[in-house]
Structure 1
Amino acid sequence: MNIYLKNLNRVVALGGGHGLGRVMSSLSYLGSKLTGIVVTSDNGGSSGRIRQSEGGIAWGDLRNCLNQLITKHNAISNIFNYRFKGTGDLSGHNLGNLLLKALDNFSIRPLEAVNIIRALFKIKSFLIPMTEKAVDLVAIDKNDVLVYGETAIDVLQSPPKYLKLYPDVSPTIEGLKSINEADLILIGPGSFYTSLIPILLIKEIALSLKNTTAVVVFIDNLSNEISLAASSLTIFEKVLIMEKYIGEKIIDVLIVTPNVNIKGVENRLIIKDFLEDVNIPYNHDIFLLKKALDKVIKLKILN
């Protein structure tokens, strides 16, 4: 199993949160051949509170991915994932987020903070923030009203007309290099507007994706999102929106559940399968996802 994936030199996954974490966990056996480029524009929860008081990037999605790549859990990893309870100032904060921010303050750049944690837990795969500059997601809603920040965009009742990053930021150079070297690029699963689209809004990343020779795969969610705006989108509309921001028709393969309406995308390679983890509802099973991606390589790259 998974004999085809092992033949690739560089696999790059784009996204954030639990979705990207599952993809990284599924393919972690690829070691240094695997790179995750992680969204850093979250302004909610523990990450948002740290950003409000200390500035910088959002650490939550990076911390989540690091957690899912830890193969040997011990006292140190449990401390890294500890979330404070109670009603005090620390309530709701994840210690991993605070640790990453503290390392960022000691380090020259955020990527170094991530690499220190990778070294601590012996994680071979790379995790790279989409940018090392503070940035927020901004939307124009259906009434041409400016909506600022991911938490506000998540509660929109209908799809926004337009999304952008504020301010304009440059990508992490290492992340851009990994895209340019990729054989396989994975987008998703994850919150469509707030975990997937922000990475595509960085001009240099969009340009690299536009010019890539890699096979590009969109992995759809297993269930409707909590966000009403995102949950109303068909698979065709999601592909259309992503490719509008990239500026090119680049998505070669869609991995979806068997009940998804594929009208409008029939000309792409469609992998339809039951991929849900029976123990973690609405999350991809890491072994079934690995099998589906191996099928993609067999059908799309080696044929």
Structure 2
Amino acid sequence: MSETKLPKVVIIGGGTGLPVLLRGLKKYNIDITAVVTVADDGGSSGRLRDELDIPPPGDVRNVLAALSEVEPLIEDLFQHRFNTGNGLSGHSLGNLLLAAMTTIRGDFVTAIREMSKVLNVRGKVLPAANQSVVLHAEMEDGTIVSGESKIPYSGKKVKRVFLSPEKVEPLPETLEEISSADLIIIGPGSLYTSILPNLLVPKIGEAVCEAKAKKVYICNVMTQAGETLSYKASDHVQALYDHMARPFIDTILVNNENIPANVQERYTKELALPVEVDEDKLQAIGLEIIQDNLIRYEDGVIRHDTDKVASLLYSMIDVT
């Protein structure tokens, strides 16, 4: 008797948004593949990337932790960040373990697979490429800013982002997962520095555009200074379309819950405002709009409500 095939869901992103979403999705009986950016060049990840010439492990570490099914103490250990120690300060244990496994196995992807076994990870975690890439941004004034961590602080408006080297290869497995997916989820996360670095890897963006699966974009709740200042929901989508040179998203998931004044005040200091949902424009570009109360608060910080969003996404899966 053959096993029932689980619905295949591919999630593309990075940063803090992706792990939040995955913690909710892993509760469902689905086949999860997370495609994670390798453009990070800041903090512990950036140091290990430069010193050991390996892809940055930080975003992958957070996704592995989110999808792990181990005792909380083991996850806490994996996520532990050293605050003192000459050379150790600032590094997380998980980053060091991924770096060590990459050195032992000689390959970042193999290291992720081995750590996935140790952490009993629910699903697959695949880097967008098996090597580091550098993210560059061309600003509206024509200047180029290089480095994912530097782009949001340039004080200028992003026109487009691009990668080097140009000929970086994605994993064949990643392309297979995308082409056979039942649902492809893009975001949430920083538009130019967490989402687009994945889609700009040669063949990945094309595979997403060509895939038969329904494609859902989870729009950020707040604008982000240095990336999406004053962007409406349609501006986020248009930026994705401009970089892929074609429309490819079927559905946009947006928050319609009011942000409390005290929380907005905190974000105003960061020049961040709630993303305006311009329904007419979204409908004009052919998108199905799903609006709901999608947020929760952690110490005054806005996060997507992982259970609510996961439930909505699961309801979209069509395997007929």
**TM-score clears 0.5:** yes
After the TM superposition, which segments of 4 or more aligned residues of structure 1 sit over 6 Å from their partners?
none
Deviation at 1:219, TM superposition (A): 0.3
SS in structure 2 of the partner of residue 140 of structure 1: strand
For residue 305 of structure 2, what is the aligned residue in structure 1? Answer: 285
User: What TM-score results when the alignment is normalised by the length of structure 1?
Assistant: 0.90
Range with greater deviation from structure 2 (274-283 or 111-120): 274-283
Distance 2:10 2:39 in 1: 19
Q: How does 1:17-96 map to 2 (within 5 A)?
A: 17-30=15-28, 33-86=31-84, 88-96=86-94
* Mapped pair 1:275 → 2:294: yes
Distance 1:136 1:15 in 2: 16
* Mapped pair 1:109 → 2:107: yes
For residue 228 of structure 2, what is the aligned residue in structure 1? Answer: 230
2:117 is matched with which residue: 119, 142, 157? Answer: 119
Structure 2: gaps spanning 5 or more residues = 258-275
Distance 1:236 1:246 in 2: 15
Task: Say whether the 8 Å CA contact 2:70–2:120 is kept in structure 1.
Answer: no
Range with greater deviation from structure 2 (24-33 or 35-44): 24-33
Query: Residues 146-201 of structure 1: CA distance to partner in whole angstroms, max 9, x if unpaired?
Result: 21101111213333222110112111221111001111100000111110010111
Structure 2 residue identity aligned to 1:273: D
SS in structure 2 of the partner of residue 186 of structure 1: strand
Deviation at 1:246, TM superposition (A): 2.0
Distance 2:86 2:70 in 1: 32
1:265 is matched with which residue: 282, 301, 305? Answer: 282
Structure 1 residue identity aligned to 2:70: K
Task: Say whether the 8 Å CA contact 1:10–1:34 is kept in structure 2.
Answer: yes
Distance 2:69 2:319 in 1: 31
Distance 1:82 1:290 in 2: 27
Distance 1:149 1:200 in 2: 17
Deviation at 1:145, TM superposition (A): 1.4
Q: Tell me how many residue pairs correspond in the alignment.
A: 294
Task: Say whether the 8 Å CA contact 1:17–1:62 is kept in structure 2.
Answer: no
Query: Residues 57-93 of structure 1: CA distance to partner in whole angstroms, max 9, x if unpaired?
Result: 1110000111112233344332211111126221111
Distance 1:91 1:273 in 2: 41
Cα 1:74–1:21, aligned 2, differ >3 Å: closer, same or farther?
closer
* Mapped pair 1:171 → 2:191: no
Deviation at 1:129, TM superposition (A): 0.3
Share of identical aligned residues, percent? 31
Query: Residues 86-119 of structure 1: CA distance to partner in whole angstroms, max 9, x if unpaired?
Result: 2622111111101101100111421111111111
Task: Say whether the 8 Å CA contact 2:223–2:231 is kept in structure 1.
Answer: no
Query: Residues 2-57 of structure 1: CA distance to partner in whole angstroms, max 9, x if unpaired?
Result: xxxx9863110000122111222111134661100000110001000111111121
Cα 1:228–1:146, aligned 2, differ >3 Å: closer, same or farther?
closer
Distance 1:74 1:295 in 2: 29
Distance 1:294 1:210 in 2: 21
Task: Say whether the 8 Å CA contact 1:160–1:229 is kept in structure 2.
Answer: yes
Task: Say whether the 8 Å CA contact 2:296–2:302 is kept in structure 1.
Answer: yes
User: What TM-score results when the alignment is normalised by the length of structure 2?
Assistant: 0.86
Distance 2:101 2:169 in 1: 22
Structure 2 residue identity aligned to 1:261: V
* Mapped pair 1:249 → 2:247: yes
Range with greater deviation from structure 2 (95-104 or 275-284): 275-284
* Mapped pair 1:161 → 2:156: no
Cα 1:264–1:108, aligned 2, differ >3 Å: closer, same or farther?
same
Cα 1:64–1:179, aligned 2, differ >3 Å: closer, same or farther?
same
Distance 1:115 1:61 in 2: 15
* Mapped pair 1:185 → 2:184: yes
